[in-house]
Amino acid sequence: MKGVAGRVAIVTGGTVGIGRQVCLALARRGARVVAVGRSRQRLEDIGRELAALAGDSRCLALAGDVRREQDVEAMAAETLARFGRIDILVAAAGILRGGDGSLRLLKDMSLAEWDEVLDTNLRGVFLANRAVLPAMIRQGGGDIVNLSSTSGKKGLAFDSAYCASKFAVIGLTEALAVEAARYGIRVRSLLPGAIETGMWNQNGPLPRPGAILPVERVAEMVIWMLANPEDMDLDGVVIEPAARGLHSGWLAHHSKRSQEAHLCTVVPARIGRL
Per-residue pLDDT tens for 203-246?
Answer: 555 666 667 778 888 899 899 999 888 777 777 888 787 765 43
In the predicted structure, residue 256 carries a pLDDT above the cut 50:
no
Using CA atoms, how far residue 19 sits from 34, 92, 232, 233, in Å, is: 11, 5, 24, 24
Length of the chain: 274
Query: For position 259, what pLDDT does the model report?
Result: 38
SS3 216: helix
Asked if 136 and 183 touch (Cβ cutoff 8 Å), the reply is: yes
pLDDT band at 262 (very low <50, low <70, confident <90, very high): very low
What CATH number belongs to 8-243?
Answer: 3.40.50.720
Task: Identify residue 261 by its one-letter amino acid code.
Answer: A
- 126, 158, 162, 167: which is the annotated catalytic residue? 162
Determine the Cα–Cα distance for residues 15 and 41; give it in Å rounded to an integer: 9
The answer to whether the CB of 148 falls within 8 A of the CB of 187 is no
Q: Determine whether 183 is an active site residue.
A: no
Mean pLDDT of 245-254: 40
Of 128-142, 187-201, 214-228, the poorest mean pLDDT is in 187-201
- Average pLDDT of the residues of the chain: 84
Domain chopping of the chain, boundaries: 8-243, 245-274
* Position 164, amino acid: A
User: In the predicted model, is pLDDT for residue 263 greater than 70?
Assistant: no
pLDDT value for 273: 33
CB 27 within 8 A of CB 33: yes
How high is the pLDDT of residue 202?
Answer: 60
Backbone φ/ψ region at 262: left (φ over 0), alpha (ψ -120 to 50), beta: alpha
Beta bridge partners of 35: 11, 61
